[in-house]
Amino acid sequence: MSWNDPSAPSDRARHAVAPAAAVEPVWYPAQPVFVASAPVAPGPGPARRRVASAVSLAVGFTVIGVFAVAVVAYFLLFLQPAIILAASLLAFVPLAIVLTGIWLVDRWEPEPRVALLFAFLWGAVVSVGTALIVDLLVGQVQALVGIGATDTADVLAAVVQAPLVEEGAKGFGVLLVLWIFRRHFDGPVDGVVYAATVAAGFAFVENIQYFAVQVTDDLFSGSQGLLFVFVVRALMSPFAHVMYTACTGIALGWAARRTGPVGAIGWFVVGLVPAVLLHALWNGALVVVGDSFFAYYLLVQVPIFVAMVVLVVFLRRAERRVTHARLAEYAAVGWFSADEVGMLSTASGRRRARRWATANGVGPAMKRFVSDATRLAFTRQRMVKGSRTGDELAQRDEAELLAALVRSRAALQAPPTAFDGWAPPPTLLPARTPVGQTPWAATHDQWGRPLQPPGW
């Protein structure tokens, strides 16, 4: 695919006729040109265990369904439906903020919707349900041993129990996504996306609980604490859970490139450590700093958030560099042209390609082409950086993606090079179309590109 104009007119032509208008290069897909040593597409490799993945996904959604029923029953047992509905509307505010951030991060290589749905529901019901169950069990144990509700017990629950249980449950959801959707989990950015989605689901349901409890308390006591709770949870810290769980997601993203399913467990534990510490830092501050909370927020939490944003930006740029480097390897043996690699590894190039495709009615084919090429680059990265000599499943993915790219290329139905059209003088247009020719036959080639008129 080219951004150049191999059919540029001669110097005489440029002096004789000026272009009709300054136009941007028009993108056309090029057929790959294979060098003599270029290999054919890799063999099919080992059969993928699609049945096992489908069964795992079905079991996962069944677990989610059971926990969903339990969580809804728990909420209805202690809260009025009208209050739950009102709290849900308030909780949509931070949810919308977080989902917008996830979309911005996920634009380069969008993840499958079913995987994102699984991640969100796991955080919303399984992680929340696990935290509620542990909280009830701890309460029962304390009652049995005669330990009442004390300030020390509350601090331990907030600083130790909640971070360990909640981050463990959320992080395990990200680990399940890695196991079930292995071929779509390519690196740290994907880890951030899936972890943020799990955290978004958890924070949404947790906010419903906090807001509903505060509304109930305000109605009975006449206080006005809802505004403060909403500002702190919805506006000041909508990304709090995202930052915690993102630590686990980044670690699992590195695991996706370096190890297998069993080895990922070790990376999960490594990522869980900073996740728990950041969570404990926030919960402990709410208990300890007291009236100095806002100063603590500005001096500690805001810099942590900025550092996390900078880290994600760095990972996104690294993702683009990986795309360019790995696709360049395929270009070296003829699967892509150099211009295609430039288009696929830059945001501006992709935008121009999408505009061209939309204008020519092949937008879906272009979307598939860009998506498959990006996944191919990360599959190659997984093969290159993996600790084992050749990941057999990655080889299978590579073969499937190369075949998909060939199909997308054929669906684009366009000439091999780009051309900036020049408006021919009206006098050179035929008065009538000869019989048996299309209206463009006298002034355009078979691909619809304007021909250079005689005498130019």
Closest listed residue to residue 454, CA positions, set 433, 429, 435:
429
* 67 contact partners, CB below 8 Å, separation of at least 6: 125, 126, 128, 129, 130
Most confident of 61-65, 338-342, 443-447: 61-65
Residue 181, C-beta contacts closer than 8 angstroms, at least 6 positions apart: 53, 111, 112, 115, 118
% residues pLDDT > 90 (the chain): 53
Global pTM reads: 0.79
How far is CA 321 from each of CA 18, 312, 377, 394, rounded to the nearest angstrom? 39, 14, 10, 20
Q: Which residue has the higher pLDDT, 338 or 18?
A: 338
Alpha helices in 293-445 (DSSP H): 293-296, 302-331, 338-344, 347-359, 363-385, 392-412
Residue 28: both structure tokens together = 């056309």
Q: How confident is the model at residue 148 (pLDDT cuts 50, 70, 90)?
A: low
Closest CA to 120 of 53, 61, 207: 61
Q: Phi/psi at 206 (nearest 5 deg)?
A: -65, -40
Which pLDDT score, from 0 to 100, does residue 142 have?
84
> What would the mean pLDDT of 90-96 be, rounded to a whole number?
97
With tokens 């208990």, the residue in question is: 287
Model pLDDT for residues 395-412, shown as the tens digit of each residue: 888 889 999 998 888 887
Average the pLDDT over each of 5-14, 212-221, 230-239, 283-292 and give the range with the smallest value: 5-14
d(CA 21, CA 449): 16
Structure tokens at 14: 């440029």
pLDDT digits (tens, 9 = 90+) for 254-279: 998 888 889 999 999 999 999 999 99
pLDDT at 416: 45
Which of the two residues, 113 and 152, has the higher pLDDT score?
113
Residues in the chain: 456
Q: Which helix (H) or strand (E) holds 260?
A: none
For range 164-188, the mean pLDDT: 94
Whether 73 shows a pLDDT value over 90: the answer reads yes
Helix (H) or strand (E) run with residue 230 in it = helix 226-230
Count of other CB atoms within 10 angstroms of residue 135: 14
The angle formed by the CA atoms of residues 23, 24 and 27, to the nearest 5 degrees, is 130
Interhelix angle 162-180/50-78, nearest 10 degrees: 150
pLDDT of residue 2: 41
Contact 66, 126 (CB under 8 A): no
Six token digits for residue 42: 């890799």
Q: 51 pLDDT band (50/70/90 cuts)?
A: low
Q: Give me the phi and psi of 323, to 5 degrees please.
A: -55, -45
